[in-house]
Structure 1
């Protein structure tokens, strides 16, 4: 029985409420020392006393009941059955159970055992059921809610602040960030604008580790994939520069203006080569150029993004390069995203321009801001542009296999997760960072994080998959950390994603074949119309003889029919009647059945009444 007692107390007895205020100390009263009072005290020699050494008044000894154990053995391989019972025979164990259940002590023994079993069950309820007991069985993954938090904020050190245009992680454990800043507004005049870029230490957001001082603002900057001291950057004036931070804060070498681009360099990437000194860059002037760091006086190769033959290529008709994509596992292949919304799949081994630009994909309505291949599925790549993100396959060139809904805000950048192949990140112009997981849901993002109120410009994920660096319009870089379930790849994720991509590929191929048939039918009908028009243009007399004469004959027949005199019409009607007379007459209808006398009398009466009324 539970005994409860409630303690009650008035509010006035609680004491006065504490009201704190920011006020300095005040001297309320002062009591000066009085030496005359010291004569009233008796001085004693100092002594020590320990409270723990007080005498013990009581002592109690308590011990639990001693448990005595005996050793016994039993072979439970066959279930502990008696020797005279054969387990191969199903009837013998059943008879033995019925025999035991009929005994008098069975009921009392079971009732006594129930209490012990119930106690054990209640104890098991407090045990962690997810605890791993067996080493050969994989633990069940715990369901974790997706979450994100901001670790550090790296702000532009100068005013006025500049937008963040590119972020690159260092290859030495990714402990440093190279961030480039540039104002790309057309003919924007910003007074006192500096052109410096920063290298940040991830653990120190207060002050940059290094300040790089280029001659012009850096639009993109990329670390070497193996050397943490070497960087390459593309600038606003079209020049490409090489950096070695061991030799100073200025570029070691730069390209000549005459051999450089005419527009800002929007993307620069290192290539997987034997020397490790090759990289290529692209600009909106319509060219892609390959460089060697050992000699930057001229490019080693140049590609004009015009779908024409080698001798007919025109730089004025070329597509403007807005982003580049390169996968190190395929050293001869690369992709280009253009300002016209077209992505071009290129092969450097091609001899002519048409062979180099092997395939085109009409991806977006506006510029393609990002293009990246999936790290686990190289044939599938992600594109970001206008208000949507799309996942493409090289086997389907007509349309994307997966795409997101159109957002209210523009998408500015995106990237795949390097650890979980079904996850990709996107940034929006309203300051929101979205996390998409294709295996969970495709209609909306798994997680949406409001990073800031300004427009997000670029992002770059960490190799661990848990951290993402995001830059905004005001020159601030945020380091965001996600929960483990976003970065952790489960056992069946790759198989499920493979099945999803294959299913979407088949669906798009079927739709492409159907659209191809419809276009072919439409083309044939247009060809027929063009042939008739061409025939009319070449020999109009045949067209007149065929169609115009036929129309004239029909018109004459109608006029003759309307203008005939009435005598001829009567003759034609008589001829028609004669034709009808020649036809055999139909048999007469059968006679009506005879009426009864009562019905005849009723009809006579009705006829007489009608006459009287008249």
Structure 2
């Protein structure tokens, strides 16, 4: 696996202007919001590296100015990292990993160890029995937007659930999405709050994208299942009703919920390789694929110019779908309350009955087998 990561300029697409050389390959990176010369990268070995691109050599190679202590870092690859907008220094960041930890860091700290941490350990239904069991959930996507609350963090997990953490005096998991219904059937690769209505957020995983409300545990809207696995996605930063999805078959899909919610608005083949990531800024979209190629797309005007009433109409659509899901949830609860309570079986008796049924079935198979052998003779 190559260690280098590149920073490019649109004026020179053939050669990178900077080459980041970390101790381990980067899985994610983010520019500091207060000083764009500072970059943090999350590595495959679980550590974080901080770069100052002003300190590169004559060839443009930039090595880390600081790297977190490996033993105190994540134990799995770091899949997402965000700079925090709290404080005046802008030196704090948060990272997530499939080891189940959320770790907070300060670039200016004397010792590069986490300032705070939380383990994403929750009771979730077992896939076999449906019983709630304690399990560590690995973080695959992270979303932090200070407009929704400077202390709120959304974490998408490799089990398909979404957790909301609140960092006050202590760090608490305040909301769990998809535990009862609506979870993704695989890892969540992307989480994005809507740029105009931050209470609503987009999740991308398996073959679909889903829209959630902070006030409801199940999704309020979702796309149809695509023919190919989805790998990434994001909202348009200028149009609150439009979002982009990348697919494993090399296609880019554009959904425009302002006009219609049941069909893709636009689909474009970008690469023969699986697409892996996307970032949109105004009228430009950067799309990465599995071969290491970054494609820059110039978007047409309808894909980035917002109409005068789009913000209000999308607010109404989100609220309508929220009320509908809320009413369905209330009705379901009422129906469950009306059902007679099931008598709890003795666990030992239930296990004995299951064993007896299995023995009976095996005896029946044995009898059929010997009858078949006897007939052939």
Q: Is 1:287 the counterpart of 2:101 in the alignment?
A: yes
Partner of 1:576: none
Per-residue CA deviation, residues 340-396 of structure 1 (Å, 9 max, x unaligned), is: 000001111163x6xx10111113011011011001001100000000001111122
Q: Which of the numbers 483, 487, 491 marks the counterpart of 2:304?
A: 487
Q: Which of the numbers 113, 116, 130 marks the counterpart of 1:301?
A: 116
Larger Rg: 1
Q: Which of the numbers 313, 321, 328 marks the counterpart of 1:511?
A: 328
CA distance in 1, matches of 2:202, 2:7: 28
Q: Which of the numbers 365, 368, 393 marks the counterpart of 2:185?
A: 365
Q: Which of the numbers 236, 257, 267 marks the counterpart of 2:44?
A: 236
Q: Which of the numbers 302, 315, 318 marks the counterpart of 2:136?
A: 318
8 Å CA contact 1:457–1:473 kept in 2: the answer is yes
Partner of 1:410: 229
- Other structure's SS at 2:175 match: strand
In the TM superposition, residue 317 of structure 1 has moved relative to its aligned partner by 3.0
RMSD: 1.5
- Other structure's SS at 2:121 match: coil
Which structure 1 segments of 5+ residues have no match? Answer: 1-192, 309-315, 538-614
Q: How many residues align?
A: 325
Per-residue CA deviation, residues 462-508 of structure 1 (Å, 9 max, x unaligned), is: 1x2x1110000100000011111111111111111111111111100
CA distance in 1, matches of 2:212, 2:169: 23
Q: Is 1:260 the counterpart of 2:104 in the alignment?
A: no
CA distance in 2, matches of 1:342, 1:378: 19
Bigger RCO of structures 1 and 2 (CA < 8 A, at least 6 apart): 1
In the TM superposition, residue 194 of structure 1 has moved relative to its aligned partner by 2.9
In the TM superposition, residue 518 of structure 1 has moved relative to its aligned partner by 2.2
Partner of 1:382: 202
8 Å CA contact 1:401–1:504 kept in 2: the answer is yes
Per-residue CA deviation, residues 97-145 of structure 1 (Å, 9 max, x unaligned), is: xxxxxxxxxxxxxxxxxxxxxxxxxxxxxxxxxxxxxxxxxxxxxxxxx
Q: Which structure 2 residues correspond to residues 23-172 of structure 1 after superposition, within 5 A?
A: none
CA distance in 2, matches of 1:225, 1:256: 24
State TM-score, norm by structure 1: 0.52
CA distance in 1, matches of 2:55, 2:300: 40
8 Å CA contact 2:154–2:165 kept in 1: the answer is yes
- Other structure's SS at 1:225 match: coil
Per-residue CA deviation, residues 283-306 of structure 1 (Å, 9 max, x unaligned), is: 100101000001252111000001
State TM-score, norm by structure 2: 0.84
The structure with the largest helix share of the pair is: 1
8 Å CA contact 2:208–2:230 kept in 1: the answer is yes
- Other structure's SS at 1:201 match: coil
What stretches of structure 1 move > 4 A for 4+ residues in a row?
Answer: none
CA distance in 2, matches of 1:224, 1:451: 29
8 Å CA contact 1:416–1:425 kept in 2: the answer is yes
8 Å CA contact 1:307–1:357 kept in 2: the answer is no
CA distance in 1, matches of 2:326, 2:12: 51
8 Å CA contact 2:177–2:216 kept in 1: the answer is no
CA distance in 2, matches of 1:379, 1:321: 21
Q: Is 1:247 the counterpart of 2:55 in the alignment?
A: yes
Q: Which structure 2 residues correspond to residues 461-500 of structure 1 after superposition, within 5 A?
A: 461-462=280-281, 464=282, 466-500=283-317
The structure with the largest strand share of the pair is: 2
CA distance in 1, matches of 2:336, 2:118: 33
8 Å CA contact 2:213–2:322 kept in 1: the answer is yes
CA distance in 1, matches of 2:16, 2:220: 43
Which structure 2 segments of 5+ residues have no match? Answer: 57-61, 124-133, 350-377
Per-residue CA deviation, residues 410-443 of structure 1 (Å, 9 max, x unaligned), is: 0110000000110100000111101111011111
CA distance in 1, matches of 2:84, 2:137: 22
- Other structure's SS at 2:286 match: strand
CA distance in 2, matches of 1:294, 1:326: 21
Q: Which of the numbers 186, 191, 196 marks the counterpart of 2:4?
A: 196
